[in-house]
Structure 1
Amino acid sequence: MRPETIHIERTYPITADKLWQALTNQESMKDWFFEIPNFTTEVGGEFEFYKSNDDKNLMHHCQVVESKAPEIFKFTWRHPKQSQGTSVITWRLIPRRGATTLHLTHEGLENFKDAGENYTHAKFESGWERILGESLNKFLEKRSLPI
């Protein structure tokens, strides 16, 4: 089985510190990502959240692997009710002269083969494109976060 990985880069016109806050603050995350009541950036810490899909509550279970503000946030990503597989997501923030590039890597998608058609590389990629290209962008524009 060959590894399946997604790489997406988006550059936002704010500092790495401000982007880190948008990415890791529970209140902010509700507006662009998901509501995650037990969210943490502590290495070894676990959090979970739910997404409704066709009247099913799909649980996402995550564990923090690496966290260094405002540079990197890495965590496992599992769907324990749909699959035995685990993937790893890395958000890397790269400062760029008054802006910050977010490089998202989602590795191990081949581990979700047992979960069905909603867990394909294409579905995950379109989801991340929508989240980073639309939801996070709109949130940052709305907040007009100064550099």
Structure 2
Amino acid sequence: MNTPITVQYKINASAEKVWKALTDKDEMKSWYFDIEDFEPEVGKVFNFYEPGGENKYHHQGEILEIIPNQKLKHTWSYPDFSDRKTTVTWELQSHDDETLVKLTHEGIENFKDLGEGFSRENFTGGWNSIVGQSLKEYLEK
């Protein structure tokens, strides 16, 4: 089953405001992850851990594509567990002061042998929480 995970939510904010939340590392800390080495530039690699300070899961990504205010595409991997990678694409469609945020996570089956913490269900729940709650609440406050 190579079906990507897709979540989408309408957010009452302009595409520019959503884009800044997705690409400004100071804003990211407020709703997403603390990614100190994030630079919105194709080819740049970034690293981060889950919140809470346990540093159990080292996440790594590489920016693959950027179209300002429209699309951010990057790899998503766990180099401590596997050399396999997945791809996360954030797409923004603006309608007046509302933006449809669509997140697609492809290749999730690459993590199927890593255990329950890397299950499709966990990622689906995580992305729904991140986009539908954290990002939405951050931008609509």
User: Does the CA contact (< 8 Å) of 1:83 and 1:114 recur in 2?
Assistant: no
Amino acid at match of 1:28: E
Sequence identity percentage:
37
Gaps of 5+ in 1: 143-147
- Whole-Å Cα distance in 2 between the matches of residues 101 and 141 of structure 1? 13
The match for 1:9 is: 8
Amino acid at match of 2:137: K
User: Does the CA contact (< 8 Å) of 1:4 and 1:121 recur in 2?
Assistant: no
Number of equivalent positions? 141
Amino acid at match of 1:4: T
After TM superposition, the runs of 4+ consecutive aligned structure 1 residues lying more than 6 A away are: none
The match for 1:87 is: 86
- Whole-Å Cα distance in 1 between the matches of residues 116 and 132 of structure 2? 23
Q: C-alpha offsets along residues 45-75 of structure 1, whole Å, 9 cap, x if unaligned? A: 1101011589452100000000010110000
- Whole-Å Cα distance in 2 between the matches of residues 12 and 127 of structure 1? 18
Q: What is the TM-score with the length of structure 1 in the denominator?
A: 0.90
Is 1:127 the counterpart of 2:126 in the alignment?
yes
What pairs with 1:55-134 in structure 2 (closer than 5 Å)? 55-134=54-133
The match for 1:39 is: 38
Q: CA deviation at 1:114?
A: 2.1
Amino acid at match of 1:134: Q
Question: RMSD over aligned Cα, in angstroms?
Answer: 1.6
The match for 2:138 is: 139
Gaps of 5+ in 2: none
Amino acid at match of 2:64: V
